[in-house]
Amino acid sequence: MRALIVAFCVTIARAWHSGVALRRWGAGLAVAVGMGVAPTAPVLAAVGEGDLPEGAVAFQKLIKYQKDWGILSNSLKQRLGSIDDKEVTGIKLILKQLANEYYDMELLSKSITDPTKAKQAVDLALDFRKQMRANDDAASAGDLQKVVDSYPATAKELADFFELLSDVPDEI
């Protein structure tokens, strides 16, 4: 880039001394800018800064929360008697986020072309939300065992939801 700028300046200086008209110098400047000598802003977004479609983001979040729900459940099961109030606050936050995944699940269910499956997906999302809210209430009351006990049913609901999203025919 620096070599290009130096070459351009040398060309302009020679043209100036040889009596070339000023308009040719302006044309040369326009060509130089067109060649990219002038600084330009990047066109592409940086890696990891998003720019995914709304449905892809919702799917990505749902997968993340499915994994987080499994990790949380295992952690609760192992440390059930030794969880303090500060940790319960964090657990409640995760449960609220899981309950709010209903909106992403509802968005994703709109991509299901079969109306029966789409209705099943919305019903699963609603039930999942209700169970997560019940888990949040149980955590508030100090009944973390109920949260642990609800994991198998809610994990199955998430797996069933992903199965409904699958558009691969059964014949394969």
> Is residue 48 situated within a structural domain?
no
pLDDT band (50, 70, 90) for residue 51: confident
Q: Which residues make Cβ contacts (< 8 Å) with residue 73, sequence separation at least 6?
A: 147, 148, 151, 155
How buried is residue 13: exposed, middle or buried, by Cβ count under 10 Å (0-12/13-18/19+)?
exposed
pLDDT band (50, 70, 90) for residue 1: low
Q: Domain limits at 7?
A: 2-34
> Is residue 161 situated within a structural domain?
yes
pLDDT band (50, 70, 90) for residue 45: low
Q: Say how many domains are in the chain.
A: 2
Write the pLDDT tens digit of every residue in 118-156: 999 999 999 999 999 999 999 999 899 999 999 999 999
**Residue 164: closest CA among 117, 127, 110:** 117
pLDDT band (50, 70, 90) for residue 8: low
The enclosing domain of 153 has a CATH number of 1.20.120
> Is residue 42 situated within a structural domain?
no
Decide if pLDDT at 32 tops 60: no
> Is residue 58 situated within a structural domain?
yes
Q: What is the mean pLDDT of the chain?
A: 81
> Is residue 44 situated within a structural domain?
no
